[in-house]
Structure 1
Amino acid sequence: MKRLRLMLFTTMILTSFFLSLVQTSANGGDGKVVFYIPVEQAVERGLLAFLERSIETAIEEGADHIVFEVNTPGGFVDAAGEIADLIGNVPIPTTAFVVKDALSAGAYISLYADEIVMVPGMAEIGAAQVIDGSGSAADDKAHSAWLAKMRNAAERNGRDPIYALAMADPEIDLPEYNAGTGKLLTLTASQAYEVGYADALAEDRAELLQYLDLENAVEREMEVSFAEKIARFVTHPIIIPILLSIGSLGLVLELYSPGFGIPGIMGITALMLYFFGHLVAGFAGFETMILFAAGIILLLIEIFMPGFGIFGILGIGAMIGSLILASYSTSHILVSILIAAAVTIAVSIIMFKYFGNRGPLRKLVLTEAITTAEGYVSNINREDIVGKAGEALTTLRPSGTALIDNERLDVVSEGGYIEQGKKVKVISASGSRIVVREHHAYNEE
Structure 2
Amino acid sequence: MTTLILLFIVGIILLAAEVIVPGAVLGTLGALAMLAGCVIAFWQHGPMGGGVAVAVALFLVGLMLAIEFLILPRTRWGRRFFLHKSIDSRSQPPVADAAAITRRTGETLTTLAPTGYVLVEGRRYEATSRSGLIEKGTPVAVIGTETFQLVVEKITGDNPPPAASSTRPPVTPGLPADNDLNKPVDLLTAPVYLPPVPPAPPSSKH
Report TM bin, short chain: 0.3 to 0.5
The two structures have a TM-score, normalised by structure 1, of 0.17
Could you say which structure has the larger radius of gyration?
1
When normalised by structure 2's length, the TM-score is 0.34
Identify the structure with the greater helix proportion.
1
